[in-house]
Structures are given as C-alpha cells and as structure tokens.
A and B are shown apart, each in its own frame.
Chain A
C-alpha cells in the first residue's frame, strides 16, 4: 500500500454517527466554548451569535445528511479553513505586538470559532463528532488564558460536564449501550478528581517565559492633568488625602497621596482592587515618605528631600534607573516578574516589588523618584494591565547580622568597609520634627542590650512592639495638634500599621538609623484557580524601610509581629485552628482518605455479594417477594416460597418455580446444572427481582397453609458458578 493509499485509508469516513446525544453534547460544548470566549471579551456579541447559529445549523444539517453527505462540502470547508488562516496571519502580522501572546489570543479565538463553526457542516461520522468535541477545548483554552478571576468558573464547569456527557455518549454509541453507567462514572469521577489534584500538586505551575513581551494594556486610561503629581483612580484630579469623613472609595487608601495623615481614621472595603501574578509574593510598594511632622508623613520632592522625579520616556518597556542609595551589591538579586491586573480604578502609582528594573505599561511616560516610587502619567483605570520586572534585593538575617559586625567595630566606632549612605541623604532620613526625648529614651532603653549594630537594634524594637503593643483598627481619631508617636507609645499603645510603623521609624531615627515610611499593599490571598494574588482594599499597608550598608533599603514590618488587641478566646482558638489546618498536608490526606473509602466500599460490596449462584438466585427471589408484598418467611423453604410467589406473579409462575427447583436440586440433590442453566437462572432471577417496580401495589393472596410444615433447612449451598 502506497503512502497516498494509506492517507486515503486513514481519512476514509467511518460509518455515520446516529447518536443524537453525542452530537448534542459536542454541539453544546462548542457553544459553551464560544460563550466562554465571549465572556472574556475575545469574541464580540455579533460574531458569537453568528457562530452559535452556524454551529447549531451545521450540526443539524450534518445529522440529517449523515448517510449521504454532500460530496462538495469538503473542498468548500477546506477553502473556508484556508481563508480563516489567511485572515489570522494577516491580522496577527499587522495588528499584534511581536512576542506578545495576549495580542494574538483575540484573533486566535475568532479563528478557532470560525473553523469549528464551518466544520459543523461536515460531521457525519463518529470521528468527526469527536473532533468537534475536542475542538471545543481550544476555545476554552483561549478563554482560560485571558481569565484573571473566577467568572470563568461556571463556563468551565458547564464545559467539563458537557465534555463528560459527550464522552459517555460516545462510549454508549460505540458499545451499543443503553442507560448511564452511574457506578463507572462515579468511580471515574473520583479517579479524575484525584488525578487532577495530583497533576496540579505534582507538576510545577508553568510561568511566563522571560523571552516574551509581558502583558500590558490600558483600556480605561487618560492623561494626567498634573503630570508631576498623583491622581486618584476616579479621574484626573490632583492627588490629595481623602477627607476624614465619607467614603474613601475602593482602594482609596489614604496613604496613596502626597501626604499621609495618621490622625485620620478610615475603613477599607473587602473588594478586590487588583490581581497580581508574580514569581514570588512580596510587598507591592506604592511610594515612600521621608518627612514626618508629628502627625502626617509628607513626600518632600524638592531639593534636599527625596529629590525631583526623573521622567522616563520612549514607551513600554520603561527602563527604571537605580539610584545610589538603592544599590545592594550584597543581595542575591533574583528576578521577580509581576503582572498587575487592576480590577478597580487606582491611583497612578505603579505598584511593584522592590528594586524595579523595567516597567511594561501603556503610557507615554513614567516618573521615577529617587526613592523608587514610579508614577504613570496616564491614569490607571479598571482593566489596566502592567508588568514590572524587579531585581529582588532582600537580604537574609544572616547577611544583615554580618553587616553589623562589618560596619561596626567592637568598640562601637564605625567601619568603612561598606559604602555609607550619602550624608545629606542620611540626615534627611534621620529628620524628626522635634527632639522626642521620651521616644529617644525609650528607644535607647529598648536597644540597650542589643549592641551598636543596626540589625540587632531593629530586631530589639520589633520584639518590644510584639510584647508591648496591640493591633486594632478601632482607635479614636487623633486630636488636631497631638503627636501621633507620643500618643501611641505613651498612651494606649493600640493602633494599626500606620501608628506602629511610624513609631518604629521615629524610634529608629532617634537612634541614628536611617528609616522611612512605605505604603503599598501586602501580597493578598493566593487564588490557586487563577494562579493570581487577589489584592483587596483592606490589604493596603504601611511598613518601614531601613537602610543597610551594602543592601540598601530593606523592608521591616513591625506590624506583622504585633498581636491583636483583646482577642476573644474563640478568635484565638479559630486562629490556632486555622494555623494548624494550614499546615496539614491536605493532598496526601485526601488521597489516603479517598483510597481508604474506596477500599472500604469495595470490601463491603464484596461481603454483600452472595457467595454462590444459588445464593444469588435465592436473594433475587427474596427481593422480588418483598417488592410484591410476599416476603419470604424465616423458615420457609425456597420451593414453598416460590410457589407462593408464583401466585403473586402468575405470568412468571413457571420461571419462578423453575429457578427455585434448580436451586433446590443443586443444593440438596447434588445435581449440578450446566453453565448455561446457571446463566439462564441468574438472568431470570435478576429479571424477576424487578417485578415489583412494574406491578405497582401488591396483590393480596391467600396464605399457603403448608409452608409451616415444610423443611426449614433450605440453605443454598451449591458452590459453583460465581
């Protein structure tokens, strides 16, 4: 056979597929795929509608003509496919960014939809229907690639169920089976769940390759009217701190402004403000504050302060400069790629992990301050996507301890082996509005035994915070003119991240350690379905950055170690329980539990199974008796019972007495029936078992008076057959 003949043979259409169920499942799976793409914005409503109509019509036509498909349909469909590919190539060539797969996925969805909709007109055989069913996975894949939230969930569940339906229908068609294999499906479903969890758990989550252009989009952005300043997410208004009263808007944390008033109290919502896909979770830095006036943090962007921002132009990606105080030659420097998907309008701050190197953002330019704060000069509305590539400079505790011993001599005199912070900059980050004598005394007291090293003193203050301070957001507003740090440290010692971090910064500055206030978001909660970190408005946070020689600015979060104020016993118990549950190996436990349950069920099922064919026949007859209202009595011989049962089902009297006689002969007479007789008896008894289902209410029948005198030793003992 030549190669061409082999190809022709392989493509020879199979027998026509008559299963309507299989076709329906395949068609619905494609429709769900189209709907999923539409829900993710990859298909327009008109295209979706046309594709749905074409798919349904094509499948109906294919079913009607399955025995005599139109001979010219294949060339037409081939031309349609070629045309679709040509359109796709032209669109991608002219309209997409090289290497940016997100710009390809839209046309790809249209291409898949086009191919599947046209293919629907030529699905006469089982193999064609199977291809259609498999093709729906392509649509779902494209939709899944674009989804960043759980709204795709219902589509995926519906598609999975439909796929399952289609596979079972295909098997029913292949095996000429009627009915649904519930037991097999249940077992297969458990196996699928276990394998799927194992695949997710065992296989590493694929990451975006660094050779591609990272995603960025700004569908709801506009120019910033005051390019040098911040805007809030609602529009182009100049940045300002939110009013003490009234809504702070979603994500409207008070700190994302030119100043942070720590005397203002606000409540943050639980809404998701953005989702982040990152190589590693971390603090998403918004901006830092350098000047403290006793109640508010202020960004002093003038000379002598943080410094003027540098405008970076040229379009995405923007290369972010590294300023001298950010240099960290001692850190490992692993790359951390973060893609931010904004769910709400946010300030035009470009959040990022520490030490951003490149920013992929659809904006004319960005402003980069010497403290590392990045500001877009386009507003960042909902739907904005940007990617930041950072070089992780987080130092380990051992490295920072080593800095202490390197920089500071045993006698406390400074060493010069590592670069020191520029004196002017150091003085700026040691700024205090007044002397803070009580704070300085307290800080000196806390760090008295820690030695001269920065790290040791920072840890001392952290430890003190963890034992002397309680976390709560339920604190009264600070009176106008009062000092936040004094009120906090020498008052109730209750507060939240702003008070705790501010007090830490002031204490560190009083000790001569350069420190600054930083605001942004904590990583949020990880969603294993979307592989994204869901950042909510309540995840806004303030923490401290401390400068270390050789490692630059390092994050310190004293709030993380501060316990809650007056925790109730229930909340403590719940917290402990949650911690314990979080540490349990759920996947192995689930696997073990599932296996054990399956083993127990299997064992019980085997135990319940009658040991011989005679037991099975007797068991089925008993069941028939129960259904017909003529249950077998405890000491009633089988033949007597069969005779009584026959009165309730006269049309099956012969069969009932026949199988009972067969069992009795085998049990007591030693007359072993043939394999065929056993098979027939089993089938007959099984059929008789279902009599009551069809007969309805039982028929009253006179009692057989002879049953009591009959032998009571009937117990099937034949051990052949099953």
Chain B
C-alpha cells in the first residue's frame, strides 16, 4: 500500500466483536427484565421455564455469531489492476460459509455472501478508493449473525490482492492544452531534455537547459557554456514533470490535474513524457496509454518522500 493510502487507512480490528449491539442488547435485557417481572408477580413456574428458555435463546443468539465470524475464511478470487479515486472498484471474494462482507479499504458497503449453507461461494464486493496510491492488500470486514440473526459479530481481515491495485487520481476536467505549432521547436518553454532523441551536435547554453546536458569539451573549446543538442523525433512528445508537495490533498489535486492534461494529450494521439517521483526514485518515461498514466500517477510520491527513501536515480 502506498503512503498516500496509509494516510486514510482504517484501524484493523482483528478481534471478533459485536457491532451495533446497543439496540439488540437493550431489547433483550428489557425483554428479560419484563419477563422476570411477570414471573415475580405471578410466581408461576411456566413463566420461569419459558423465561429461562427465552433468555437462553437471546444469550446464545447474541453470542453464537462470534464463532462463524471468527472461523470464516475469505480469499480474493479476482481483482482489477486499475482504479480511480471516487470510482467503485469491484472485487470477487471467496467465502467458505455464509457471511456478510464489507470492504473497509477501499470503503464499500455490506454484501451478503449467501447461497447454500455448505461449500464455498463467490461474491462480488465493491469499494470506492478515497486516496490515490497502490493497494496490495485490502481490509475486509467479515460478519455473521448465524444462526438467529439477533446480533452481528465482525472482524477485519487483511487480504492480499493477486495483483496490486493502482488507484489513479480522481478524474477531472482537463485544462485547455495549447495545440503545438509546427516549426515552433526551440521556442517552447518546456524544453525537451537532451537525453531524448539522437545526438546532433552542440549549441550555446540557454536558460532552462539542464545542467547535465552541458558539453564540457565544447564549452572549453568555445569559451562559453555549450550543451548537447539531440535530434528530436518528428512527433516530439510533451514533457510533464509532476512534482507533488508533501501535503496529501494538494498532491492529489496536482496529480488529478496532471492526469487530466496528460490524458487529453494521449487522447489526441500526441506523445507525452511523464516525470514523476516514485518510492524507488525519479522516473522519466514516455506514456503508452491512459492505463500507464494512471499507474504512474498512482505510484507517484512527493520528492521529499523520494529523498527520504534514498531513491534518486531515474528509471
């Protein structure tokens, strides 16, 4: 799970515990108290016997679900590889008994894993990621009220996904991206890094050129800073450098923005080079499609975090 997901991760409650217990417990206690009052006022043995039976059913009915809730085995059968913040994602789980399943990370609603009493059953659950990131394991609340349905007992289980789930930023409207003008190369404010394309020669240094592209022998020869110049491909790609701040919300907003603009360029068939910082270091790579875009942005972290992890070399 990426750092951005960890920020919003719920507490994992592994211990089997009753949920929404107040009303059932209060109702049961009230019933038993009323019954005891009737038994006390009448002194009738039948009231005591049936009251004991009723109390036993209520007690067992409220405690028994702890057993199936604790013993249920749940696995992930299938899960998608990609998702977007705010969009539901559907996973298929397998349960070995009738239980109620609810995704807690990503957040979802309760789904009964019903069917016949015995045997495994598959159930599709859905959850909505609230944060961008990479999810490698999900948290599922497993609940049961068997066999009387009086009280639900639940516990949380962590389930490893068959493949990581990349949660791309929320889908937002793209900014208006200026159409590239033919022959305007060299005037673009976003300069293509010299590492791209075939080497052609050297040229004088211009503000904005990366320090790494300085060609020192030519500089010594010319007496002025010279930089390597590469042959640009015909469809010169757009370069988007995504620098995320430490603040998660602001970072997500920037990622959403980048996704929208890069996605719009991809949709227009133009090449895009995306520069991001991932936990393993700085990554600069052309985007192949929107899925690639989403995954890159899902993995993107703040450079500060990147430095903290010691990764600085681009891939």
Interface set, chain A 132-149, CB cutoff 8 A to B:
134, 137, 140-148
Contacts of A137 in B (CB 8 A): 31, 35, 54
Does A116 sit within 8 A of B, measured CB to CB?
A: no
B11 beta carbon closer than 8 Å to chain A: no
Residue of B nearest to A185 (CB): B147
The chain B residue with its CB closest to the CB of A212 is B41
Are A145's CB and B47's CB within 8 A? yes
Q: Is the CB of B145 within 8 A of A277?
A: no
* Given known A191-B60, A676-B78, contact A176–B115 (CB-CB < 8 A): yes
Q: How far is the CB of A651 from chain B (nearest CB, A)?
A: 19
Partner of B56, one of A101, A143, A182, A193: A193
Is the Cβ of B57 less than 8 Å from the Cβ of A192? yes
Residues on the A chain within 8 Å of B43, using CB: 206-208, 277, 339, 531
Contact status of A195 and B59, CB under 8 A, knowing A168-B148, A185-B147: yes
Q: Which of A175, A184, A206, A674 contacts B112 (CB 8 A)?
A: A175
Cα distance A335–B115 when bound, in Å?
61
In the complex, chain A residues whose CB is within 8 Å of the CB of B44: 144-148, 530-531
In whole angstroms, what is the CA distance A438 to B45 when docked? 52
Q: How far is the CA of A152 from the CA of B167 in the complex (A)?
A: 64
Interchain residue pairs A-B with the least CB separation, the first 4: A531-B45, A176-B114, A171-B149, A144-B46
A527, closest chain B residue (CB): B45
Q: Closest approach, in angstroms, between the C-beta of B59 and any C-beta of chain A?
A: 6
Residues in A whose Cβ lies below 8 Å from that of B99 = 175
Closest beta carbon of chain B to A452's beta carbon, Å: 46
> A184-B146, A679-B75 are known contacts. Are A200 and B119 too (CB-CB below 8 A)?
no
Which residue from A102, A170, A527 sits with its C-beta under 8 Å from B149?
A: A170
Give Cα distance in the complex from A69 to B133, angstroms. 47
- Within 8 Å CB of A193, what residues of B? 56
Is A529 an interface residue, CB under 8 A from the partner? Answer: yes
Tell me which of A141, A143, A146, A175 contacts B98 (CB under 8 A): A175
Partner pick for B38 among A145, A175, A177, A687, CB 8 A cutoff: A145
Residue of B39, B42, B52, B116 contacting most chain A CB atoms (<10 Å): B42
Q: Is the CB of A448 closer than 8 A to any CB of chain B?
A: no
What does the 1/0 interface line of A404-417 toward B look like (CB < 8 Å)?
00000000000000
Give 5 A-B pairs besides A156-B53, A178-B114 with Cβ atoms closer than 8 angstroms: A160-B53, A167-B148, A177-B115, A199-B52, A679-B94
Q: Is B296 an interface residue (CB 8 A)?
A: no
Q: Are A192 and B98 in contact (CB under 8 A)?
A: no
Contacts of A531 in B (CB 8 A): 43-46, 48
Within 8 Å CB of A680, what residues of B? 77
The reply to whether B162 and A674 form a contact with Cβ atoms under 8 Å apart is yes
Question: In whole angstroms, how far apart are the Cα atoms of A148 and B46 in the complex?
Answer: 8
Query: Is B40 an interface position by the 8 A CB rule?
Result: yes
Which of B41, B61, B75, B116: most chain A CB closer than 10 A? B41
Instruction: Determine how close the nearest CB of chain B comes to the CB of A526; give it in whole angstroms.
Output: 10
Which partner residue on chain B sits nearest A205 by CB separation?
B48
* CB-CB contacts below 8 Å: B60-91 with A: 60-61, 64, 68, 75-78
Q: A175-B98, A679-B94 are in contact. Are A141 and B41 (CB under 8 A)?
A: no
Which of B56, B68, B116, B147 is close to A199, meaning CB atoms less than 8 Å apart? Answer: B56
How many Å lie between the Cα of A491 and that of B48 in the bound state?
Answer: 52
Would you give 8 A-B contacts (Cβ < 8 Å), ordered by A? A141-B38, A170-B149, A177-B115, A178-B115, A188-B60, A196-B56, A676-B162, A683-B94
Partner of A200, one of B48, B61, B147, B149: B48
By beta carbon, the residue of chain A nearest B119 is: A686
Judge whether B46 and A145 touch: CB under 8 Å.
yes
Please give, as numbers and ranges, the residues of chain A lying within 8 Å of B27 by CB-CB distance.
134
Is B205 in contact with chain A by the CB < 8 A criterion?
no
Interface residue A174 (Cβ < 8 Å from any Cβ of B) = yes
B49 within 8 A of A: yes
The answer to the question of B55 belonging to the interface, with a C-beta cut-off of 8 Å to chain A, is yes
Within 8 A of B (CB), among A151-201: 152, 156, 160, 163-164, 167-168, 170-171, 173-182, 184-185, 187-188, 191-197, 199-200
Q: Which of B259-310 contact A (CB under 8 A)?
A: none
Check B146 against A145 for contact (C-beta < 8 Å): no
Is A209 part of the binding interface, using a Cβ–Cβ cutoff of 8 Å?
yes
Q: Residues of A contacting B238 with CB < 8 Å?
A: none
| Alpha-carbon gap, A401 to B72, bound state (A) | 70
Is B100's beta carbon under 8 Å from chain A? Answer: yes
Q: Does A380 contact B (CB under 8 A)?
A: no
Contact A192 B146 (CB under 8 A): no
Bin the interface of chain B by size. 35 or more
Contact in complex: A676, B114 (CB < 8 Å): no
Residues of A within 8 A of B48 (CB): 200, 205-206, 531
User: Do residues A181 and B146 form an inter-chain contact, with CB atoms below 8 A?
Assistant: yes
B77 touches A679 (CB 8 A): yes
Shortest CB-to-CB span from B311 to chain A, Å, is 30
Query: Nearest CB to that of B159 among chain A residues?
Result: A675
A171 in contact with B42 (CB, 8 Å): no
Contact of A188 among B45, B98, B148 (CB under 8 A): B148
A676 to B119, CA, bound (A): 15
Contacts of B38 in A (CB 8 A): 141-142, 145
Cβ-neighbour of A177 out of B57, B76, B117, B120 (below 8 A): B117
Q: How far is the CA of A173 from the CA of B61 in the complex (A)?
A: 16
A175 to B119 CA separation, bound complex (whole angstroms): 15
Taking the nearest CB of chain B, how far is it from the CB of A686, in angstroms? 5
**In the complex, which residues of chain A have a beta carbon less than 8 angstroms from the beta carbon of B53?**
156, 160, 192, 196
Q: Which residues of B contact A367 (CB under 8 A)?
A: none
Assembled-state Cα–Cα distance A147/B59 (Å) = 26
Which single residue of chain A is at the shortest CB-CB distance from B120?
A683
Q: How far is the CA of A13 from the CA of B73 in the complex (A)?
A: 34
A686-B46 contact given A168-B148, A175-B98, A184-B68, CB 8 Å threshold: no
B150 within 8 Å of A (CB atoms): yes
Asked if B19 is at the interface (CB within 8 A of a chain A CB), the reply is no
Is the pair B149, A167 in contact by a Cβ cutoff of 8 Å? yes
Q: Is the CB of B57 within 8 A of A686?
A: no
B3-30 CB mask vs A (1 if < 8 Å, else 0) is 0000000000000000000000001000
Could you tell me if A145 and B42 are in contact, using CB atoms closer than 8 angstroms?
yes
Q: Chain A residues with Cβ under 8 A from B56's Cβ?
A: 191-196, 199
Asked if A179 meets B60 with Cβ closer than 8 Å, knowing A206-B36, A208-B41, A679-B75, the reply is: no
A485 within 8 A of B: no
A174 touches B50 (CB 8 A): no
Residue pair B147, A184 in contact (C-beta under 8 Å): yes
Residue A532 is within 8 A (CB to CB) of chain B in the complex: yes
**A171-B148 in contact given A176-B115, A179-B117 (Cβ < 8 Å):** yes
B181-218 contact mask (Cβ, 8 Å, vs A): 1 or 0: 00000000000000000000000000000000000000
Chain B residue contacts of A160, Cβ below 8 A: 50, 53
Chain B residues positioned under 8 Å from A277 (CB to CB): 43
Q: Is the CB of A174 within 8 A of B49?
A: no
Q: Which residues of A contact B100 (CB under 8 A)?
A: 175
* Interface check A528, CB cutoff 8 A: yes
Give the residue of A141, A339, A683 whose beta carbon is less than 8 angstroms from that of B47. A141
CB < 8 Å neighbour of A144 from B50, B55, B64, B115:
B50
* Min distance, Cβ B77 to any Cβ of chain A, angstroms: 5
Asked whether, in the complex, the Cβ of A168 is within 8 Å of the Cβ of B47, the reply is no
- Is B40 in contact with A174, judged by CB distance below 8 angstroms? no
Asked if B46 and A156 sit within 8 Å, CB to CB, the answer is yes
Report the Cα distance A163→B49, complex, angstroms: 15
Interface centre among A176, A194, A277 (most CB of B within 10 A): A176
The answer to whether A682 and B52 touch across the interface, beta carbons within 8 angstroms, is no
Give A177 Cβ to nearest chain B Cβ, in Å.
5
- Which residues of the other chain, A, contact B76 by a CB distance below 8 angstroms? 675-676
CA distance A142 to B51 in the complex (A): 12
The answer for the CA separation of A143 and B51 in the assembled complex, in Å, is 13
Question: Do A171 and B94 touch (CB < 8 A)?
Answer: no
In the complex, the answer to whether B77 meets A177 with C-beta atoms within 8 Å is no
Instruction: Determine which of B40, B46, B150 lies in contact with A206 in the assembled complex, contact meaning CB atoms within 8 Å.
Output: B40
Most A Cβ at <10 Å: residue of B44, B46, B99, B149: B46
Point out the residues of chain B lying under 8 angstroms from A185, CB to CB.
147
In the assembled complex, the CB of B156 is this many whole angstroms from the nearest CB of chain A, namely 19
